[in-house]
Structure 1
């Protein structure tokens, strides 16, 4: 599969491969497969030394620019074991194109998204036994690019590593598909328009950690961020986009530079619209959401993301007051979206949008 990709392959000997974790011990981001993909870039040679190789540690100079100036981007997608035991990827080219957009914003080199999909398929095929068969379990894929030039000085690096690592995972949230409790932050902010909020870069997540710890102490799973200027308009949850079913409309904040354009978000928009749901992208204030909840118009709230797919929200904690959504029950639209998306991702459902890519 990889012979025509200009990629060398170094396999781990069969007797030295890792023992695979049992389905009930997967966790999320804990276990990693035997192999990874790695390639390097510099100004003289461009991308070079592409290889599928044993999973291994890196040795980096303490002056490597990623440590000092934050040039680091990544993506998250999954491989699924589905119909007839086949392996599938969901919108992988879109993930790599989004990563190229991140690279452009962070002054990092871009790559061929189409070629990277082919390389990823080869890597997944090599690691096919790591793709879990258990219900709800998948193989999580983390493409990453970091600046590695050992130089101090605020400028783009001249050297980069691009790599892909894989890990079998269970449910992202301990609650599974049960509704979560979300903390609404009106003091700290995640991103501003004109910044890098729409980029999947490590600094965005570092900026969210402090508030996330406060949320956990309050018994919440995640933080729902408001806009940086007025602390009024809803933007996104720490690891996902957010949707509100108010009356007959499904509403989500628009992409205006401070929100990551999630591929699950886009899939939900397209899928719900195809069912005749009135889907609206517009600014929505937290006061509007809470008023709709008080009047009974707010029917469902859910997050969307690669890790959890659809994550229903049962409670909002805002200004020390808890607001219960839909009696803390998962709504019918959330349930249908999760069921349909997972069925498409595993090849059991028709794929009218041509999102699915078969590995082999």
Structure 2
């Protein structure tokens, strides 16, 4: 199978490309560099490093999935058997500030991509969704039967929920024979153990662990913990953190399922560890990995935050034969190696 990967130069995209190549898949990669870095030749720095790690050439084209003409050129000229769709704006806080940009980018890009798949008869489609579709969880742990679309607190989460619904409707159209897998990620952290690829946030990180690692290395002065009076084991928020390498391997398993089964319709899977870690536990683990003290202070809870979110990943084990193999220690160890080896991200290469 030859796989088109959109948003391939990003954090999860680049790790998934590496795992696809290791598993023997051919790839064609596209990205518009809105969340990633290009070198002076216009190549994706992260994918150049993936190429070095795997010893394989990676066909790459700069392309904005919102640009229908650019996208069609790729479908016309490349043989594509499956699509993994990562390309999206992804910062929760920014989506509240720029809702129109998020709806326009995330929905239009996805509609263009699905239309091209339909036109060029590419019927295997894996969508990068998010635990945000569950909104305020009705129960813990969250399984795939839990309600979605209720209590979503930001436009980013709404775009993921809307796209899930669109994909379900497209997949259910008579006579189309789509294979759709919607993967709901929990909280990806860590980096490739080589230290060659990892998360390179533009500006101040939006997510906890890149922020923690930048405090540890001295780029940021102090971590603000948003609330320490939650109804959790230590009063700080609890989330299901998953190593990005495990997450990437989940996409390979999804492709293998499509390959093996031939016809699956539309399926949904949680990708998480099933274990909730608190903010304080994450900080302590990072202190251990880095050998450094991480200064922190307590601030007020953020609007829309909830105390605990973690999943039941057993359906992915049953049907995808996938489970998270890497724990908190490996997440922090690999994140710290990436941070130390690349203090300024990919630009320091």
Q: TM-score, normalised to structure 2's length?
A: 0.24
Higher percent of residues as strand? 1
Q: Which has the larger radius of gyration?
A: 1
Q: TM-score, normalised to structure 1's length?
A: 0.24
